Chains A and B, each alone.
Chain A
Amino acid sequence: GAVVSQHPSWVICKSGTSVKIECRSLDFQATTMFWYRQFPKQSLMLMATSNEGSKATYEQGVEKDKFLINHASLTLSTLTVTSAHPEDSSFYICSARGDASYEQYFGPGTRLTVT
Protein backbone atom coordinates (compact mmCIF):
# COMPACT_ATOMS: atom_id res chain seq x y z
CA GLY A 1 0.00 0.00 0.00
CA ALA A 2 0.90 3.64 -0.23
CA VAL A 3 3.18 4.79 2.56
CA VAL A 4 3.85 8.31 3.71
CA SER A 5 6.54 9.15 6.22
CA GLN A 6 7.24 12.25 8.25
CA HIS A 7 10.41 13.42 9.87
CA PRO A 8 10.93 14.17 12.64
CA SER A 9 8.23 12.43 14.61
CA TRP A 10 8.66 14.93 17.40
CA VAL A 11 10.65 18.10 17.89
CA ILE A 12 11.17 20.60 20.67
CA CYS A 13 12.43 24.03 19.77
CA LYS A 14 12.90 27.38 21.44
CA SER A 15 10.67 30.32 20.75
CA GLY A 16 11.90 32.38 17.82
CA THR A 17 13.62 29.55 15.99
CA SER A 18 12.47 27.82 12.82
CA VAL A 19 11.63 24.17 12.40
CA LYS A 20 11.40 22.13 9.21
CA ILE A 21 9.16 19.07 8.91
CA GLU A 22 9.52 16.67 5.99
CA CYS A 23 6.79 14.61 4.38
CA ARG A 24 7.74 11.86 1.95
CA SER A 25 5.73 9.48 -0.19
CA LEU A 26 7.78 6.30 -0.15
CA ASP A 27 6.26 4.16 -2.87
CA PHE A 28 4.24 6.44 -5.09
CA GLN A 29 4.45 9.81 -6.75
CA ALA A 30 2.49 12.42 -4.85
CA THR A 31 1.29 15.12 -7.17
CA THR A 32 -0.55 16.76 -4.31
CA MET A 33 0.37 16.94 -0.65
CA PHE A 34 -1.67 18.37 2.17
CA TRP A 35 -0.64 19.75 5.53
CA TYR A 36 -2.97 19.53 8.52
CA ARG A 37 -2.80 20.70 12.07
CA GLN A 38 -4.43 18.79 14.89
CA PHE A 39 -5.01 20.20 18.36
CA PRO A 40 -5.53 17.84 21.29
CA LYS A 41 -8.94 16.19 21.24
CA GLN A 42 -9.84 18.11 18.11
CA SER A 43 -10.14 17.46 14.43
CA LEU A 44 -7.61 17.86 11.67
CA MET A 45 -7.64 21.32 10.17
CA LEU A 46 -6.31 21.71 6.65
CA MET A 47 -3.57 24.31 6.54
CA ALA A 48 -2.47 24.20 2.94
CA THR A 49 -2.37 22.20 -0.25
CA SER A 50 0.72 21.91 -2.37
CA ASN A 51 1.20 20.63 -5.87
CA GLU A 52 4.61 19.60 -7.08
CA GLY A 53 6.43 22.51 -8.60
CA SER A 54 3.78 25.08 -7.68
CA LYS A 55 3.20 27.48 -4.85
CA ALA A 56 1.10 26.15 -2.01
CA THR A 57 -2.51 27.18 -1.58
CA TYR A 58 -3.19 28.21 1.99
CA GLU A 59 -6.49 27.99 3.83
CA GLN A 60 -8.07 31.12 5.18
CA GLY A 61 -6.45 32.24 8.39
CA VAL A 62 -3.17 30.40 7.85
CA GLU A 63 -0.17 32.72 7.63
CA LYS A 64 1.80 31.81 4.54
CA ASP A 65 4.89 33.66 5.75
CA LYS A 66 4.87 31.73 8.98
CA PHE A 67 4.19 28.29 7.56
CA LEU A 68 6.40 27.92 4.51
CA ILE A 69 5.60 24.97 2.30
CA ASN A 70 7.80 23.62 -0.43
CA HIS A 71 6.89 20.73 -2.73
CA ALA A 72 10.00 20.48 -4.83
CA SER A 73 9.65 16.88 -5.97
CA LEU A 74 6.96 14.25 -6.45
CA THR A 75 7.99 12.52 -3.26
CA LEU A 76 8.87 15.32 -0.86
CA SER A 77 7.10 18.27 0.69
CA THR A 78 8.41 20.33 3.57
CA LEU A 79 6.69 22.55 6.09
CA THR A 80 8.84 25.15 7.83
CA VAL A 81 7.44 26.85 10.87
CA THR A 82 9.29 30.16 11.01
CA SER A 83 9.90 32.15 14.18
CA ALA A 84 8.00 29.58 16.17
CA HIS A 85 6.00 30.59 19.24
CA PRO A 86 4.43 28.45 21.96
CA GLU A 87 1.02 28.79 20.30
CA ASP A 88 2.45 26.96 17.27
CA SER A 89 2.86 23.86 19.41
CA SER A 90 0.68 21.23 17.84
CA PHE A 91 0.54 17.96 15.94
CA TYR A 92 1.25 18.45 12.25
CA ILE A 93 0.13 15.78 9.82
CA CYS A 94 0.76 15.53 6.12
CA SER A 95 -1.03 13.50 3.52
CA ALA A 96 -0.28 12.72 -0.07
CA ARG A 97 -2.34 11.92 -3.12
CA GLY A 98 -1.33 10.57 -6.49
CA ASP A 99 -3.06 11.16 -9.79
CA ALA A 100 -4.97 7.90 -9.78
CA SER A 101 -7.56 8.59 -7.10
CA TYR A 102 -8.90 11.05 -4.59
CA GLU A 103 -7.65 8.97 -1.70
CA GLN A 104 -5.16 10.65 0.60
CA TYR A 105 -2.53 8.66 2.45
CA PHE A 106 -1.54 10.07 5.78
CA GLY A 107 1.81 10.37 7.48
CA PRO A 108 2.26 9.50 11.16
CA GLY A 109 2.43 13.13 12.21
CA THR A 110 5.01 15.37 13.88
CA ARG A 111 4.58 16.64 17.41
CA LEU A 112 6.00 20.16 17.69
CA THR A 113 6.58 21.72 21.10
CA VAL A 114 7.80 25.29 21.26
CA THR A 115 9.24 26.35 24.62
Chain B
Amino acid sequence: AQSVSQHNHHVILSEAASLELGCNYSYGGTVNLFWYVQYPGQHLQLLLKYFSGDPLVKGIKGFEAEFIKSKFSFNLRKPSVQWSDTAEYFCAALEYYKLSFGAGTTVTVRA
Protein backbone atom coordinates (compact mmCIF):
# COMPACT_ATOMS: atom_id res chain seq x y z
CA ALA B 1 0.00 0.00 0.00
CA GLN B 2 1.04 3.51 -0.74
CA SER B 3 2.46 5.59 2.11
CA VAL B 4 3.13 9.30 2.07
CA SER B 5 5.51 11.19 4.30
CA GLN B 6 5.79 14.91 4.85
CA HIS B 7 9.03 16.15 6.29
CA ASN B 8 7.93 19.25 8.11
CA HIS B 9 5.38 19.24 10.88
CA HIS B 10 5.24 22.99 11.42
CA VAL B 11 6.75 25.75 9.33
CA ILE B 12 6.78 29.37 10.45
CA LEU B 13 7.80 32.10 8.08
CA SER B 14 7.32 35.75 7.30
CA GLU B 15 5.29 37.26 4.49
CA ALA B 16 7.12 37.37 1.16
CA ALA B 17 9.37 34.47 2.17
CA SER B 18 9.57 31.46 -0.09
CA LEU B 19 7.94 28.21 0.94
CA GLU B 20 8.86 24.64 0.15
CA LEU B 21 7.15 21.66 1.72
CA GLY B 22 8.55 18.20 1.26
CA CYS B 23 6.54 15.13 0.32
CA ASN B 24 7.72 11.62 -0.45
CA TYR B 25 5.69 8.62 -1.52
CA SER B 26 6.55 4.98 -1.39
CA TYR B 27 5.04 3.30 -4.44
CA GLY B 28 7.27 3.05 -7.46
CA GLY B 29 4.74 2.45 -10.17
CA THR B 30 2.26 4.78 -11.79
CA VAL B 31 1.33 7.34 -9.22
CA ASN B 32 -1.13 10.18 -9.02
CA LEU B 33 -0.23 12.86 -6.50
CA PHE B 34 -2.09 15.73 -4.91
CA TRP B 35 -1.60 18.64 -2.59
CA TYR B 36 -4.55 19.78 -0.51
CA VAL B 37 -4.89 22.81 1.72
CA GLN B 38 -7.12 23.19 4.75
CA TYR B 39 -7.59 26.76 5.91
CA PRO B 40 -8.63 27.26 9.54
CA GLY B 41 -12.23 26.18 9.97
CA GLN B 42 -12.64 25.20 6.34
CA HIS B 43 -12.75 21.99 4.35
CA LEU B 44 -9.96 20.46 2.34
CA GLN B 45 -9.37 22.09 -1.01
CA LEU B 46 -7.31 20.83 -3.91
CA LEU B 47 -4.25 22.96 -4.63
CA LEU B 48 -2.84 20.95 -7.50
CA LYS B 49 -2.47 17.45 -8.86
CA TYR B 50 -0.09 15.42 -10.94
CA PHE B 51 -1.24 12.58 -13.15
CA SER B 52 1.26 12.55 -16.00
CA GLY B 53 3.14 14.81 -18.37
CA ASP B 54 5.07 17.90 -17.31
CA PRO B 55 6.55 17.15 -13.88
CA LEU B 56 6.24 20.80 -12.89
CA VAL B 57 2.63 21.35 -11.97
CA LYS B 58 1.03 24.73 -11.48
CA GLY B 59 -1.83 25.05 -9.05
CA ILE B 60 -4.08 27.68 -7.63
CA LYS B 61 -3.01 30.66 -5.52
CA GLY B 62 0.51 30.71 -6.97
CA PHE B 63 1.52 27.24 -5.77
CA GLU B 64 3.47 24.76 -7.82
CA ALA B 65 4.90 21.32 -7.24
CA GLU B 66 7.59 19.28 -8.89
CA PHE B 67 7.33 15.55 -9.41
CA ILE B 68 10.76 13.90 -9.27
CA LYS B 69 10.31 10.21 -9.94
CA SER B 70 13.89 9.26 -9.09
CA LYS B 71 13.48 10.77 -5.64
CA PHE B 72 9.88 9.62 -5.09
CA SER B 73 9.16 13.24 -4.26
CA PHE B 74 6.44 15.78 -4.94
CA ASN B 75 7.47 18.96 -3.16
CA LEU B 76 5.21 21.99 -2.96
CA ARG B 77 6.56 25.48 -3.51
CA LYS B 78 5.45 29.07 -3.45
CA PRO B 79 7.93 31.87 -4.19
CA SER B 80 6.34 34.48 -1.95
CA VAL B 81 3.83 33.62 0.74
CA GLN B 82 1.11 35.79 2.15
CA TRP B 83 -0.50 35.88 5.56
CA SER B 84 -3.56 34.22 4.00
CA ASP B 85 -1.47 31.13 3.19
CA THR B 86 -1.60 30.18 6.86
CA ALA B 87 -3.15 26.72 6.76
CA GLU B 88 -2.60 22.99 7.00
CA TYR B 89 -1.13 21.39 3.88
CA PHE B 90 -1.54 17.73 3.00
CA CYS B 91 0.21 15.70 0.37
CA ALA B 92 -1.70 12.68 -0.91
CA ALA B 93 -1.21 9.81 -3.29
CA LEU B 94 -3.91 7.98 -5.19
CA GLU B 95 -3.67 4.21 -5.40
CA TYR B 96 -6.52 2.69 -7.32
CA TYR B 97 -9.37 4.86 -6.07
CA LYS B 98 -8.06 5.50 -2.56
CA LEU B 99 -6.17 8.50 -1.30
CA SER B 100 -3.36 8.07 1.21
CA PHE B 101 -2.50 11.26 3.04
CA GLY B 102 0.69 12.47 4.62
CA ALA B 103 0.61 13.69 8.21
CA GLY B 104 0.23 17.29 7.13
CA THR B 105 2.32 20.41 7.59
CA THR B 106 1.06 23.41 9.50
CA VAL B 107 2.22 26.61 7.84
CA THR B 108 2.09 29.81 9.83
CA VAL B 109 2.82 33.03 7.99
CA ARG B 110 3.61 36.04 10.13
CA ALA B 111 2.66 39.45 8.86
A interface list, Cβ under 8 A from B: 4, 32, 34, 41-46, 49, 93, 95, 97, 102-104, 106-109
Contact A107 B98 (CB under 8 A): no
Contact B97 A43 (CB under 8 A): no
Main SS of chain B's interface residues? strand
Contact A108 B101 (CB under 8 A): no
Contact B44 A43 (CB under 8 A): no
Contact A46 B44 (CB under 8 A): no
B interface list, Cβ under 8 A from A: 9, 32, 36, 42-46, 49, 90, 94, 97-104, 106
Contact A49 B97 (CB under 8 A): yes
**A109/B94 contact (C-beta < 8 A), A42-B103, A103-B49 known:** no
Cα of A97 to Cα of B44 in the assembled complex, Å: 14
Contact A108 B43 (CB under 8 A): yes
Interface pairs (19), CB distance under 8 Å: A4-B43, A32-B97, A41-B9, A42-B103, A43-B90, A43-B101, A43-B102, A44-B44, A44-B101, A45-B101, A46-B98, A46-B99, A49-B97, A93-B43, A95-B99, A102-B97, A103-B46, A106-B43, A109-B43
